[in-house]
Chains A and B, each alone.
Chain A
Amino acid sequence: MNRYPNWPLILVTPAKTSSSDRIGLLVLLAGLLAAVLVAFLAVRHQNDERSREMLEQGTRLVKALSAIPIDGLTPSAGRPNPLAAVLRAHGSADLAYGLVTDSQGKSLSEVAAPGLNPTPLPLAADKPAEWFGHGPIDSGVAGLQLIEFHGPLLRDGHLEGFVRIGFREPSMGLSASQLPFLAGLALPILLLVPLFFFMLRSQLSPLKTLSQRVENLAGGTSDVDARDVVTRFGRFLDAAEKRIHELEATRGDADTSIKLLGYKKAKIESALETLPEGIIVLGESALTVFANAKVGPLLGIDPATLLHKGVTEWPIDGAITRLLAPLLSDESGPHTHNTDFQPGGDENRRVSVWVLPLFAPRDTTRRLGSLLVLRETTDQLLAGRARDEFIAHVAHEMKTPLANISLYGELLRDEPGLPDETRIEAINTVCDEAERAAGLINNLLNISRIEAGSIVIDRQWVRLADLLNDCMEHLSHGGHAHGLQLRVKVPPELPPVELDKDMMRIALNNLLTNAVKYNRPDGEIILSAEESDERIIISVQDSGIGIAADDLPKVFDKFYRSGDREAVSRGGHGLGLYLARQIVEMHQGQIGLVSQPGQGTRVTLSFRKPHVLLRAA
C-alpha cells in the first residue's frame, strides 16, 4: 500500500514560465556575468602591470638622469635641448614632462607634452633623504593625474639642482587596443554558455518529464504513466523503509544476541566455577578454552596455563596426558569415558576424570569439543581400601572359628579311638568356636548399626547393682568362668543411672569375656561401680596376663590384636574393646584402660551424673 498518497501535492508548485526558459535565461546571465567579471579582472591586472612598469621606468630614468652633470641636461647655444633628446629617446607614451631645476627650484630646462601645465612637487635642498622619490601631482588638465619622479643633480657631492620626470597615471578605462584582447577572452565564455545550457537541459530532461507528470497528476490530468510512476516510487519508498527497519531490527537483535551471549557465557563460567569438580572445556580444535579454579589443586598447576593449549601441551605429568589424549581424540567415539590417575604419583591420592564429548545440538556427528570433569576421589579410594580391609578382617575372623569347628569335627569323626579327655576338649572347642562365631556376628552387627547411626540410645533409669549382677550371673552360668573368682561391688547408696540397659549389657559382656579369656586359671574378676561428685564409674578388673605397654594405645582400635604369644593363643577377634568404646561414647561417657603385664587389666567406664550433664547443656 502506498503510504504517500498526497506527496505530489506537496512537491508541485505551478509556474507561469517553463523551467527550461528560466534555466536558459539564468545560464545566459551567468555567462555574461562571468565574461564581464573576467574582462574587469583582466583590465585591472593590466593596469596594475602598467603602474608597476611605470614605477620602474620612472625610478630608473631619474637615476640615469641624476648621473648626468647638470650642464649636460640644460640647453646651451648651438645644440638641442639634451633633456628633450633623452625623453624622446625613451619613447614612452606615458611620459608627460621633463624638468631640470636648480637647487632653489628655478627651471633650467623643461620639456612638456602639449596642454600640460604641471605643478612640480616642492623639494627641500636641506633634506637629502627626500631628494630621490616620487609622488602624484596635478597636471593642470582635468581628469589627468601625473606621477612625478625626481632625483638630485650633484657636482662634486654638492646639490646643484633636481631632475623631474612626470608620467601619466594609468587609468581603468578601456582603450581601443584592449578590445581585441577582451573579445578573445569573452568569446570562449559566450560559446561555452549554450553548450553548458544544452548539457544541463539534457540532464534535467527526465526530471522535467517527471515533474510534468506530477504536475499533470496534481492538476487532475489523467496520466496513467504518471500514476504508475508515483505508485512504483511509493512502493519503492515503502520497500526501502521496510528494509531499513528490518536492517535496524536485525542489528538490534544482533546487539542483543551478543550481549545475551556474553551474559550467558559469564553466567555459565560463574556456574562452572562454583562446581566442586574441576572443569576443563576443550574447543573444536582440541585447545583448552576454559578451566575452572578447582582444576589447580587437582592437577597441581595454575589453570590459566592450560588455556589455548592441547592436552599434550599441558604442563602436567606426561603420564596423565598420555592417559587423557586417547579419550579426547575423535576416535574415542560418542561415549563418556572415565579414568583415574594419582597426582604426583601419590598412591594415597586419586583423581577421577570423566571425558564427555560435546556435540552440536542438531548434529550429533559434529564434535564441538570435549568436557573434562575432574573429581578428587581419594576419600572413595581410602574408603574402598578400608572396606576391603574390613571385609578381609571379617572373613578371617569368621573363617577361623568355622575352620576350628570343621577341624575338630573331622577329628571326632575320623579318630574314633580318641582318649576321653581329648574328645571332651574337642567337643568343648566346637561349642566355644560356635559361640565365638556367634559373638563375632553379634558384635559386627552392633558395630555396623552404630557406625551407620541406626542405633538410638534408649536411656532408662537403671540400678547398677542389678545390671552388674545380671552380667556376672550370665558369665557364671555360661561355664566359661570356671575356676575364677567373680565379685560384684556396688555401694547400696549408689543412685540409679540413666543408661541404655541393653547396649550397656553388650559392652560389659565384651569386657567380662576378655577378663575371662585373658585371666589366669585361678584368677579373679571384679565388676564394680562407684561414684564421685560428678561421675559414675563402672570398672572391670581382672588378674590376668595383662597388656604390653606397646599395645595399650591401640587396644581400642577395630580389629586390633596383640602380637603377644600368650594373648594370641587365647583367641579373640579384636572387636570387643572397640565395640565397648563405641557404646560408652554413645552415652557421652569415657572409657579407659590400665594394665600391668602379668598382673591384670582394669577397664573403667565413666559417665557424668545427670545434674552435671544438665549444667553442661
Chain B
Amino acid sequence: MSEKHESHETSETEYKGSKNPFVAWVNADPTPEEAPWTEEKLEALRAGETYVREEKPVITEEERARRFNKVYKPLAVVLCCAFIALLVFVCLYTPPFGATDVPTNNEVSFKYIEDGLADTGATNVVAGMILDYRAFDTLGESSVLFTAVMSVMILLRKDRDGSLVNDPAEDAALAKEEKISVQHRDVILRTMAGIISPFVILFGIYVVLNGHISPGGGFSGGAIIGAGLILISQGFGSAKTKKFFNFKVFTIITSCSLLSYAALKCYSFYTGSHHIETGIPHGIPGAILSSGFILPLNIFVGLIVACTMFGFYSLFTKGEI
C-alpha cells in the first residue's frame, strides 16, 4: 500500500503544473474545505469558545438493513403473489393440452411431419427439423454457447503470467487442494469413474452419431460427452484430462466446428428459405450414412457442446482449461 502511495506521489509532482481539469480534480484534496466564515462562527470565536459543527444523526449499517428488511419482505411477498395471480389468470385462457384447434397446430407441423422424411432423409423428424429446415437457428444456438464460454473465459480465466488479478493465497489453496486430492484419492469416486465414464462417453458418441435416426442429437450427445469428461477429471485429476484436452485443443475444436457448421449452412444467408440442391444423396432412411448434411452437422454441434460443458467446468474449478 505504501509503495503504491509513493509511486503515486511522484506522478503527482509531475502533474502538479498540469492545467488538465481532470488531473486537477484527481489531485484536489478530497475533504471539502471548512465552511466559510459565518456570523455564528465568528461570534463563537469572539466569545472564546471553540466552534463545534452540528452533526447529523448517523444511520448505522444495521439500522439501514433493518429498515430495508422491514419493507423488502412484505413487498416481495405481495409482488410475488401478484405475479403468480397474473400468470394463473393468463393460463386460464390458454387452450387445453392436446387441443386440435389451436393456432400453433397449422400447416407447418403437418409439412414437417409428412414431408420430413422425403425432404431430409432423417427418420428422426426433430433432427430433420432443427438441422435441415431450421439449421440456421441451430447455428445461432451454437454461437450463443460459444459466446457464453468466451464470456466465462473473460470473467474467470487467470492471467498467463499470473500477475494482474490472481490472488496468491487462492492459488496456494488450490495447489494444496490439488496435491491432497492427488495423494488421497476418493476410492469410491475413482472406481466408479473408471467403470462408468467410458460407457458415458461411448453413449454420448452413440447419441451424436445416431442423431438422425434415433432420439437425441448433437446437443444431448455433446452434453453427455461433456459430463463424462467432467467425471474423468473429477475421478483422476485434471492432469489426466490435460494430456488430451488443453486450451489449444479446446480453441481448435470449438472454432473449427463452428466455422465448418457455418460453411455448410451459410448459404441460408443468401437464399433465405429456399434450398440449394446439395447433390448429396439422402441414402436409405435409417442407415447411419444417410440424410445429407445432418450427420456432420450433428457431429459439429456435439463437439461444440462437449467442449463448452467441459470448458465451463474447468474454468469454474481452476480458472484455466
Partners in one complex: no
